[in-house]
Amino acid sequence: MTRSLATSVLLVSLVASVTLHGAQHPDVTDVPIAAGKLSRRSSELFRIDELWIRVAEDTEFHRWLSQGVDEEVAIILTTNTARLADESGARILTGQLIHETAPAVTPNTVDQVGQLPSGNLPMVHIVFLRDELTGTLGAVTLQTADAVTASKFEGFDDARVSIVIRIKPD
């Protein structure tokens, strides 16, 4: 491969990478993370399809989310919550998105019987929000080992975002 051809290929790759990253960082649109019937896996662990939701027991948020068990629940990632502020049945969690992975079974990535979230990845993706003012961790930790679900968080690492959880009663 000639030097100019190699440079052209590199330039096209960089432009494609920047374009893809920009597309994953929407300013107005929402990124649907999961939608479906909410089930409870353990006292602190809830689930919608391939997404596990860990919420500390004996908290107001846990009591609120528990009301959504067996109901349709939608979770979206957004950078624009102004239009959602007064929506009933929804909670908005805002902060700096922290995206980690756990390559092996740990107490934080298993349910009460020691199973990893089902999925097609050899690791569990763990996502939570950090409050920008206090540095504390948010009320919810999202976990998945599904490649499609995990890819929805790409491009948002360390960004200020909101996770919106919406319970839609029957």
Q: Specify if 47 maps to a domain.
A: yes
Q: Specify if 109 maps to a domain.
A: yes
Contact between residue 49 and residue 38 where contact means Cβ atoms under 8 Å apart: no
Q: Specify if 4 maps to a domain.
A: no
- Tens-binned pLDDT, residue by residue, of the chain (170 aa): 443 333 333 323 333 333 344 445 545 468 999 999 999 988 889 999 889 999 999 999 999 999 999 999 999 999 888 776 667 889 999 999 999 988 755 555 555 445 556 678 888 899 999 998 899 998 899 999 899 999 999 999 999 999 999 998 76
| Residue reference for tokens 């959880």 | 165
Structural domain tally of the chain?
1
Q: Specify if 161 maps to a domain.
A: yes
User: Which residues touch 168 (CB under 8 Å, ≥6 apart)?
Assistant: 71, 72, 73, 74, 89
Range of the domain at 133: 28-168
Q: Specify if 35 maps to a domain.
A: yes
Q: Specify if 142 maps to a domain.
A: yes
Q: Specify if 14 maps to a domain.
A: no
